[in-house]
A and B are shown apart, each in its own frame.
Chain A
Amino acid sequence: MSHVTEERLAELGLSLNREPTEEEAAHLSRCGACASSLARDRALTQSLECLPQPETPPDFVGKAMARVSRAEQRAPGRSWLLLLIAALLSASALVVPIALILVANFSAVCVGVATGVEYLVAAVHLVSLAASKLAAALVGTLAVTALAGVVGAGVVGHALGADAAVK
């Protein structure tokens, strides 16, 4: 065969374990020009692979993992889950009494108010578990929301109850 192309020699020389085809190998064994060109490319590759490189600082892994731990403590993953549950509970503190009011049963409204209070307590408890700044900020919001639900339920229930009594 004719000479191995320059591009092909460069490609073979990019790595020390790229093997020429049988045909190329046969040519390389006979042609000094191609063989020395490949040898130069491979020598350059070897030098590049052996260049002195900066050492990783001592105890890099220990320090990196310590930072990972700190980041993990800051991560809001579980607090968010608790906050979501708390939000759902406080929403139901509004929904449950209103549903009961719709059947215009005053005693059920009382149960609803009691349920609301229970849910409020549960929500506050969960939020306090979350124990992050964000959670603390949301406690106020949730408490106000739930309280509004409870008070609203009581007021509407009372009005409906009075209405029923007139009839």
Chain B
Amino acid sequence: MSFAGQADGAADAFLVRRAQAGDRDAFAALVVRYQGPVFRCCRRHLDAAEAEDAAQETFVRAYVHVQKIDPGRPLLPWLVTIARRLALDRNRKHKPTLDVDAGDKPDPARLEDRLQARTELAIVANGIRTLKPIEQETLLLFHVECLSYADIATVLALPIGTVMTHLHRGRAKLKALVDAPGTKTAVSQGAPR
């Protein structure tokens, strides 16, 4: 963990204690800090409107149960666990399966995206949608939300070994896509021939 991570942890602990003492501004500061990962977590399973609703509900629950938060522990895994559970519950009610394409897709019509399509980033962005949902989610929790193996294991309710397997399998599949001869050319030319 970096110094920045430790500083974040100390700031979180301070804000959590203030929120537990009834300081709503401190709680609002936590919402500002974690709105991104909480919304993204919901968006991976729901459409934009449902995801916004679930993400807000996550913070309402966090506020109602603020006394249960241990200020000595990282807050993000706790929030993401609530957010994911709410999102999966709604997803089950409205759709039969996990929405694999919950991320915002690059629009091929935009010049910026066409330029980006020449890069490895585009191969990875497209390739990640071909992974199993659990591999996608593990990769994003690790690389985008920067959660540890242990925290991801808590969020996904899986053993740490299984989390590591999903992470390494997902990465191996993406590396194979990046290394595949002709992949970059095909992507740079946009449409399949």
Interface of A toward B, CB cutoff 8 Å: 10, 14, 17, 40-41, 43-45, 47-57, 60-61, 63-65, 67-68, 71-72, 75
The distance in angstroms between the C-alpha atoms of A50 and B106, with both chains bound, is 13
> Which residue of B has the minimal Cβ distance to A68?
B63
User: Which residues of A lie under 8 Å from residue B48 when comparing CB positions?
Assistant: 54, 57
Interface of B toward A, CB cutoff 8 Å: 2, 24, 27-28, 31-32, 35-36, 39-40, 43, 48, 51-52, 55-57, 59-60, 63-64, 102-104, 106, 120-121, 123-125, 128, 139-140, 142-144, 167-168, 171, 174-175, 178-179
User: Which residues of A lie under 8 Å from residue B51 when comparing CB positions?
Assistant: 54
> Which residue of B has the minimal Cβ distance to A50?
B121
The distance in angstroms between the C-alpha atoms of A50 and B57, with both chains bound, is 28
Known contacts A10-B168, A57-B52, A68-B60; A47/B124 CB under 8 A:
yes
- Whether A52 pairs with B52 at a CB distance below 8 angstroms is no
Known contacts A53-B144, A61-B35, A71-B64; A48/B106 CB under 8 A:
no
User: Which residues of A lie under 8 Å from residue B27 when comparing CB positions?
Assistant: 65, 68
- Whether A52 pairs with B104 at a CB distance below 8 angstroms is yes
A-B contact pairs, 14 of them (CB 8 A): A41-B175, A48-B143, A51-B103, A51-B124, A52-B125, A53-B144, A54-B40, A54-B104, A55-B104, A57-B48, A65-B31, A67-B57, A67-B60, A72-B63
User: Which residues of A lie under 8 Å from residue B104 when comparing CB positions?
Assistant: 52-55
Known contacts A44-B174, A48-B144; A56/B60 CB under 8 A:
no
Top 7 nearest A-B pairs (CB, nearest first) are: A48-B143, A47-B124, A64-B56, A64-B59, A47-B121, A56-B39, A68-B63
For A47, A55, A61, A63, the residue with the greatest tally of chain B CB atoms inside 10 Å of its CB is A47
User: Which residues of B lie under 8 Å from residue A45 when comparing CB positions?
Assistant: 143
- Whether B35 pairs with A60 at a CB distance below 8 angstroms is yes
User: Which residues of B lie under 8 Å from residue A48 when comparing CB positions?
Assistant: 124, 128, 139-140, 143-144, 174
User: Which residues of A lie under 8 Å from residue B175 when comparing CB positions?
Assistant: 40-41, 44
> Which residue of A has the minimal Cβ distance to B123?
A47
Partner of A75, one of B52, B64, B106, B125: B64
Known contacts A56-B36, A57-B52; A64/B125 CB under 8 A:
no
11 other contacts beyond A14-B167, A44-B120, A61-B35, with CB at 8 A cut-off?
A: A14-B142, A40-B178, A43-B178, A44-B124, A44-B178, A45-B143, A51-B124, A51-B128, A65-B28, A68-B27, A71-B60
User: Which residues of A lie under 8 Å from residue B124 when comparing CB positions?
Assistant: 44, 47-48, 51
- Whether A54 pairs with B39 at a CB distance below 8 angstroms is yes
> Which residue of A has the minimal Cβ distance to B36?
A56
- Whether B120 pairs with A47 at a CB distance below 8 angstroms is yes
User: Which residues of A lie under 8 Å from residue B143 when comparing CB positions?
Assistant: 45, 48-49, 51
- Whether B144 pairs with A57 at a CB distance below 8 angstroms is no
User: Which residues of B lie under 8 Å from residue A64 when comparing CB positions?
Assistant: 31, 35, 55-56, 59-60
> Which residue of B has the minimal Cβ distance to A10?
B168
User: Could you tell me the distance in whole angstroms from the C-beta of B185 to the nearest C-beta in chain A?
Assistant: 18
